Structure 1
Amino acid sequence: MWSKLTKRLRRFSIFSLDRRSTITSLIGQEVRVGKTVVLFYVDIVKMTDIENRYGDLIAKRVLHIFERILPGVCRDVLEIKGQVLAIQKMWGDDFAIYVSFPQGSHEEECRLLSISVQQQVEAQLNRQISFVNRGDLHIHIGYAIFHGQDVVKEMYTSVKHAVHMAKYGITSEKYTFVTQYHRLLQQEEIQMRFMPIVDLRDGMPLGWEALARGPEKTPFYSPASLFAYAEETDTVFRLEQICRKRALEHLRYLKPQQKLFINLDPRAIDDPYLLRGDLLKLLESTKLNPHNIVLEITERHAITNYSVFRKIIEEYRKKGYLLAVDDAGAGYSSLESITEIYPDFIKMDMSLIRNIDVDPIKQALLETIVQFAEKVKCKIIAEGIETERELETLMALGVTYGQGYYLGPPAKGMVHISGKAMNFLRGIREQKMKKDREPRVFAPVITDVLTKTICVEKQAKVRQVHQIFEQNQRIESVVVLEAGKPIGLIMRFQLYQVLGGQYGIALYYERPISQIMNTNPLTAKKDDQIDEVAKRAMARDSYHLYDVVLITGDEGEYIGIITVQSLLDKMASIKLEMAALANPLTGLPGNIQIERELHARLKREEQQVVIYCDLDRFKWFNDRYGFEVGDQIIVRTAALLKEAVQLYGGTADFLGHIGGDDFIVITTPHFADTMTTYIIHVFSSYFYDIYHKRNIKDGNDLSMSMAGVLLSPGRFASVEDLAEQAASLKQVAKNMPGTVFVSDRMDERILAADM
């Protein structure tokens, strides 16, 4: 009988740590024949406390009894369902038990077996050992199932998993939740929600932030709960990897100018999938580039090693990814992170945004950050916008982008801004346009600063474009054409970034340039105004801020390029010229600018109306009451015309001061009648205080004669011909009493103030 028992016990033995290869071999054999292998981890609760309290000899005796009990309990309990392969003493009082079960064994069976092992070991321990003034001994137990994909790797991860399980207590609710959480990780049961990040200027999406959710109707649906379990079980990196993988599966829904924001914990920043995986191939298949991905470096955890962190960040930049500092204002070292990362975006934490409309300190702080961001060429994104008042305040402070439940909650798809928020932004924009619609002054057209660069067809190889840059050190851009029309752009630094990556040359060198070009470069028409193009150019994201602007003709054909530097230089010279040539009294464009504007308008293929405005009886007022009153009347008249253009004109309208009491307005036929009707209606009220102070009676007051000349394509050969027609019409107006508008349009309309 004794020999039979000895033989049975020898079927498994206690291995030391240097016998792991034998265990690996046993597990591999079982998995290959379709068995399920489970690791059970056991240890004695507070073994160190026993050693400290009762001494080393007692502790050794407890451990000796524990080692003697364990094989028998494993035989009696675990071999009812399976076969014990080995018991491995890991360290101290920690043991790993490897058991093979028939295929189909599930976790509930493992949990019940664990409870039985725990109860029997504790019962036998406490029968053989008792302590004065101390309760019963207890053991921890946990388990992990081998999936058989990589046994060597799973030897480590399974022990780690089982240890985490054991510390919660096999019968506790927490134990059940941790078990479910590990199963979630194994099966990658993560789903994504996408929250729009909106351009507050027009309501269009800059992109979407990918937010993780666990399975619905589970404790892990909330991201806070999901990542709390990740922290507890030390699986943050694994969970984040799954989240990024799920998020990047949606890249195909992005347009070339849109971006996908994904989170990156500083502790899990060295992600091989992003740096050394197949992501570039995925981007290529979706016709996107790494700059369509913004990596949000969260501020919730401190960056402990900045030297290593900087090196990894530089690797991301070389690949072409954009970077954002997330949760700025709520983290450990916001300013240090910003200086180290040099981000493209700074995402302000919702704690700073909440109730900012009624908190002057938050407003002052954010205003300072906005000014800082402008200087270092990065964009601010306000998180957690939940009310209309918060949004309005953020816009007033100059914040460019925002996200929050008011703009749009997280959704399964990449939805746009909510209708309510869009209507609000549209209203704000219309108010701003109305307020800022100052009459446009003369500005040169794009062709004044046009230059050329080398162009290639879309089939050209990346190798050829690289050679072009190498042979032409002075050019910074190559334009990609198809049938004479620009379809893409490649900048020198962008090409070198792509080729400078670890696999850049191998992946792209012999492929068409169309696969890595910027498919959505900024383009402008040859007749566009420089100031408008400059605004559009400077509104681009930092990655493309200094890309050249492509210029096209009437049919969309390629004409040339302009650089951002040339735009800025020209705008600076325009401002100096405007200051020098403006009328010193009213600040409006003077004669030189008026003449340039008229020359430019004569070339346009569209109908316009040139309105010459002349004050009646101005000389009498000037001579009788002095130059001070005369200047006051001129300034009031300029203010009236400005107001009329702002309220009833268009964005392309022009207002100039010819000199003395003569002004000029250029608008379209659509606006001319409404604008002049308003001037006629309010003219007298603008000078009421002047009349009242000097007791001027009706009949001696000011009036204005306005002559409208229709400027249609080909009607006038020169500015002189136009002026001659205006002079004759103005004479007609001056022969009529009151403030009047006379037009030479087909209907020969005459508008006059009521007499």
Structure 2
Amino acid sequence: MWSTLKQHFRRIPFFSLDKRQWMKQIIRQEVDKGRSIIMFYVDIVKLTEVENRYGDVIAKRVLQQFERIMPPVSRQVFEMRGKILAIQKLWGDDFAIYVSFKGSLNEEDCRMLSIHFQEQAEKQLNRHVGFVNREALRVHIGYADIPGEDIVKEMYTSVKRAVHMAKYGVTSETYTNVTQFHKLLSEENVSMRFMPIIHLPDGETLGWEALARGPVDSLFESPAMLFKYAEETDSVFRLEHICRKRAMDQLRYLKPSQKLFINLDPRAIDDPYLLRGEVFSQIEQFGLNPHNIVLEITERHAISNYAVFRKIIEEYRKKGYLIAVDDAGAGYSSLESITEIYPDFIKLDMSLIRNVDVDPIKQALLETFVQFANKVGCKIIAEGIETQRELETLMEVGVAYGQGYYLGRPDKGMTHVRGEALNFLRFMQEKRTSGRDEPLLFTPAMSEILVKTICVDKQERVRRVHEIFEQNQRIESVVVLEKGKPIGLVMRFQLYQILGGQYGIALYYERPVSQVMNANPLTVDRDDKLDEVARQAMARDSHHLYDVVIITGEEKEYLGIVTVQSLLDKMASIKLEMASSANPLTGLPGNIQIERELNKRIKQKESQVVIYCDLDRFKWFNDRYGFEVGDQIIVRTANLLKEAVRCYGSATDFVGHIGGDDFIVITQESCAAELVSFLINAFSPYYIDIYEKRRMGDGSVLSMSMAGVRLTPGRYANVEAIAERAAFVKKLAKELPGTIFLDEWDCAADDVHTASQG
């Protein structure tokens, strides 16, 4: 009987790996006939465990039985619909069954055939192999199609794909998902969303990060699931390759000053499409160059071989691409990656950004990153900005670029910053340009610290400038003038560098100084503020970082110079003075700064309101509950006033701490009503946890009396006059119950605004 069966199934050939060319011909013939070729992969589950438990002899017996049942079971299952071309023994207990079907076969058909084969194979195998006290043997099965475009390659990739499917179990949900994922890859059914990356100081769009999305309303719409299954099926490179091609389609919408950020997984970094493909002609077609593309090296996976990795990165750099380290602070080796790659951008992971406004540890870490980036010449991008307070804090520590839902969500097109965020960024920009972003800092004009240096006409010979430096060892700079106005600058070390070359003297010594001068020196007005000039000076490129700053007058005539050292020394002394005069408990400006501020406001032309704030019954609370509670009340009052100014004031508003429980707010007349209304309504809830549980039988609660003085042009000659008027109004205010604001204009009419403190 067995010999009859062998004759019956002899036409189903077994073949090994060395007969792939023969199989290629068979498959090609079937494809040319318009038939579909499906490869079914099968193996025995945990055959190694059988060998370990029962020995090599029993394991071989199981494998022999499996080989014997393969042809009859294959014929029984597959020849109902198609034709068996061959059964290939891959290795050990792994087999590939090649079946040809008339027309196309959908996923459900393949799945049902697989389930049928699995049931029959397990039934036959367990019938012929029995073990004592052991569960039945099981069979894995998976499948993949062979389109017939590159058959030898497809024979390899189909096995790889089917193995991944088989390990999940043909009836499992994961098996179905893997099948759908492979279909997605074959159809390249991936779309891209673009998330704006914003230059925070001005709200301009630096570029967009390309983010992958699967089909809408599918499991793979989420990028997390998309790349999870790519890793499960070892298809990361293929998926990323599709994503990169999709992203490049948007280059036509990019301006020469903007950039497209594309993700690169370290495990799939060597992409011929980017290194040797037609992408360069595509880039040139839209008037761009590789500098418009930033390759983000994700930090989610460890880099196993930095020597090879660095070599590939250098290939990208030679082509002109820029490099970013993504997810810095959340990966396996952020610092090592940064030191090995020397990136153009460092993208900080959202875990460092979340709640950064209330986390001093994160703020300190961000400041360190910013300082490091400034020293090595790369740029910081903060990811995952979701609130205004996070954005404000990032700007305060010096982060220049950001992205996140607050700034703009990923979208199909090249979207820009959201309206709400843009308004806030403009507000911060106005605050900086008005010189009020750091109200505690009193900065003198440049005319107060300038010095003189030697000047020459633009036609003066280089020889003469060299002689000036040789004869005046203390002079480090010479200013070049034309009709009394500065047009250039020659620094000693730069001139010596030029003349010190092999042909320097021969080439330049007798030429006009205009040919070797810096024709674009930093020139500022004598009335410009020191802190803004210092910021501009330190923003120059490294070659000119320590060049002197030229000071000019109203007609742009030369007045003098300021060295970078004198700028920084003066800034340091001002900040030291600020720290010594600021209130140590609240950090707000103290009396010296308050007096300066009031003197400055007296000279201004616009109408303002000075609000003197005094806490009622503070001494009673402080004496009864101790200094710790008293200090808590003072700090909270300072925070309340700052919040009021931030939400309802203007960019030029000022908050100071006179001392004890006395504060001062200076605001624009147009902002005063809303600001005061907020303070009256918010005061009681702001302290509820402090005084509510300490309320005494007499109903004592904390309140605040506010006295408003109108600072109109020419009304007050000095600070003493303002203080005297404020003291009078405040005395009247304190005679009234509750949190109250008494405007000096209302004193005569006895018109006051109060709020119940019940």
Per-residue displacement from partner, 1:40-75 (whole Å, max 9, x unpaired)? 000011101111111111111111111111101111
Q: Deviations over 1:665-697 (max 9, x none)?
A: xxxxxxxxxxxx9895265123659999xxxxx
Are 1:431 and 2:388 matched, yes or no?
no
Q: Is 1:55 equivalent to 2:55 in the alignment?
A: yes
CA shift for structure 1 position 525: 13
**Which amino acid is the alignment partner of residue 487 of structure 2?**
D
SS of 2:206's partner is: strand
TM-score, normalised relative to structure 1: 0.64
Aligned residue in 2 for 1:144: 144
3-state SS in 2 of match to 1:368: helix
Q: Provide the residue aligned with 2:165 in structure 1.
A: 165
Q: Distance in 2 between matches of 1:45 and 1:533?
A: 74
Work out whether residues 9 and 71 of structure 2, in 8 Å CA contact, stay in contact via their aligned partners in 1.
yes
Q: Tell me, yes or no, if structure 1 residue 684 matches structure 2 residue 717.
A: yes
Contact 2:261 2:295 in 1 (8 A): yes
Q: Aligned pair in 2 of structure 1 residues 237, 257: CA closer, same or farther (>3 Å)?
A: same
Residue number in structure 2 paired with 1:291: 291
Q: What corresponds to 2:126 in structure 1?
A: 126
Alignment of 1:492-503 (within 5 A): none
Counterpart position of 1:41: 41
User: Is the contact between residue 329 and residue 349 of structure 1 (CA under 8 Å) also seen in structure 2?
Assistant: yes
Q: Distance in 1 between matches of 2:343 and 2:255?
A: 22
Alignment CA distance shift 1:642-1:276 (3 Å) = farther
> 1:17-416, aligned counterparts within 5 Å?
17-416=17-416
Superposition map of 1:473-492 within 5 A: none
Check 1:644–1:339 CA distance in 2 against 1; reply closer, same or farther (3 A cut): farther
Determine the C-alpha separation between the residues in 2 that align with 1:335 and 1:637: 46
* Contact 2:604–2:713 (8 Å) recurs in 1: no
Q: In the TM superposition, what is the alpha-carbon distance from 1:13 to its structure 2 partner?
A: 1.3
Q: d(CA) in 1 for partners of 2:391 and 2:522?
A: 37
Measured in 1, the distance between the counterparts of 2:39 and 2:167 equals 15
Alignment map for 1:450-465 (pairs within 5 Å): none
CA contact (8 A) 1:644 1:678 kept: no
Q: How far apart are the structure 1 equivalents of 2:50 and 2:413?
A: 57
Offset at residue 409 of structure 1 (A): 1.0
Q: Any idea what SS the aligned residue of 2:227 has?
A: helix
2:124 and 2:324 mapped to 1: Cα distance?
58
Instruction: Determine the structure 2 residue equivalent to 1:702.
Output: none
The CA distance in 2 between the partners of 1:261 and 1:597, in whole Å, is 45
Map of 1:449 onto structure 2: 488
- Which one-letter code corresponds to 2:426 in the other structure? R
For residues 664-743 of structure 1, the aligned pairs below 5 Å read 680-681=713-714, 684-686=717-719, 688=721
CA contact 2:602–2:716 (8 Å) conserved in 1 = no
* Cα separation, 2, equivalents of 1:645 and 1:439: 17
**Pairing of 1:489-528 with structure 2 (within 5 A):** none
Unaligned runs of 5+ in 1: 452-471, 475-522, 540-544, 547-563, 579-592, 603-632, 649-676, 693-755
CA contact (8 A) 1:439 1:642 kept: no
Closer, same or farther in 2 for the Cα pair 1:600/1:686, shift >3 Å?
A: farther
In the alignment, the residues of structure 2 paired with residue 53 and residue 637 of structure 1 have an alpha-carbon distance, to the nearest angstrom, of: 90
Structure 1 residues 528 and 256: CA distance shift in structure 2, 3 A: farther
| RMSD (Å), alpha carbons | 3.6
**Count of aligned pairs between the two proteins:** 524
Shift, 1:431, TM fit:
2.0
SS of structure 2 residue aligned to 1:137: coil
Q: Which amino acid aligns with 1:373?
A: A
Are the aligned partners of 1:295 and 1:321 in contact in 2 as well (CA < 8 Å)? yes
CA pair 647-565 structure 1, distance change in 2 beyond 3 A: farther
Deviations 1:276-320 (A, max 9, x none): 111111100111111111111111111110100110111111111
| Structure 2 counterpart SS, 1:255 | coil
Change over 3 Å in CA distance of 1:65–1:34 after alignment to 2 = same
C-alpha displacement at 1:102, in angstroms? 1.3
Q: Aligned to 2:141, what secondary structure does the other structure show?
A: strand
Distance in 1 (CA, whole Å) between partners of 2:77 and 2:724 is: 110
- Give the secondary-structure state (helix, strand or coil) at the position aligned to 2:487: helix
Distance in 2 (CA, whole Å) between partners of 1:336 and 1:176 is 40
> For 1:263, what is the secondary structure of its paired residue?
strand
Q: Deviations over 1:481-536 (max 9, x none)?
A: xxxxxxxxxxxxxxxxxxxxxxxxxxxxxxxxxxxxxxxxxx99999989999978
* TM, length-normalised to structure 2: 0.64
Displacement of 1:638 = 11
Alignment correspondent of 1:663: none
Tell me which amino acid in the other structure corresponds to 1:597.
Answer: E
Q: 1:645 and 1:102, CA in 2 relative to 1: closer, same or farther beyond 3 A?
A: farther
1 CA distance for matches of 2:108 and 2:338?
Answer: 49
Check 1:447–1:111 CA distance in 2 against 1; reply closer, same or farther (3 A cut). farther
Could you tell me whether the CA contact under 8 Å between 1:214 and 1:221 is conserved in 2? Answer: yes
2:743 paired residue number: none
SS of residue matched to 1:411 = coil
* Structure 1 residue 259 displacement after superposition: 0.7
Q: CA–CA distance in 2 between the matches of 1:123 and 1:301?
A: 43
Amino acid at match of 1:685: N
**8 Å CA contact retained: 1:434, 1:646:** no
2-structure distance, mates of 1:39, 1:86? 10
Q: Report if the CA contact (8 A) 1:447-1:526 is conserved.
A: no
- 1:105-145 C-alpha deviation (Å, 9 max, x unpaired): 22221111111111111111111111111111110000000
Query: Do the aligned partners of 1:641 and 1:679 also contact (CA within 8 Å) in 2?
Result: no
Task: State the Cα distance separating 1:352 from its structure 2 match.
Answer: 0.7
1:597 aligns with 2:554: yes
CA distance in structure 2 between the aligned counterparts of 1:311 and 1:221, rounded to whole angstroms: 35
- Cα distance, 1:254 vs. partner? 0.8
Find the residue that maps to 2:412 and give its secondary structure.
coil
Task: Decide whether the 8 Å contact of 2:40 with 2:97 is kept in 1.
Answer: yes
Give the secondary structure class of the aligned counterpart of 1:209: strand
Query: Once the two structures are superposed, what CA deviation does each residue of 1:143-192 show, in whole Å capped at 9, x if it has no partner?
Result: 00011221111111000000001111111111100000011011111111
Change in CA separation of 1:152 and 1:534 when aligned onto 2, cut-off 3 Å: farther
Assess if the C-alpha contact under 8 Å between 1:78 and 1:84 holds in 2: yes
Is the partner of 2:69 in helix, strand or coil? helix
Q: For residues 488 and 211 of structure 2, what CA distance do their matches in structure 1 show?
A: 45
CA contact (8 A) 1:439 1:645 kept: no
Q: CA deviation at 1:324?
A: 0.8
Distance in 2 separating the partners of 1:233 and 1:37:
21
> In 2, Cα distance between the equivalents of 1:240 and 1:170?
27
How far apart in 1 are the matches of 2:190 and 2:723?
A: 75
CA separation in 2, counterparts of 1:29 and 1:208?
48
Give the CA deviation at 1:94: 0.4
Contact 1:290 1:320 in 2 (8 A): yes
Secondary structure in 2 matching 1:371: helix
The offset of 1:274, in angstroms, is: 0.9
Structure 1 partner of 2:615: none
- Other structure's SS at 1:330 match: coil
Task: Give 1:333 deviation, angstroms.
Answer: 0.9
Cα distance in 2, alignment partners of residues 647 and 65 from structure 1: 99
Shift of 1:2: 9.2
Give 1:639 deviation, angstroms. 8.4
SS of the residue corresponding to residue 435 of structure 1 reads coil
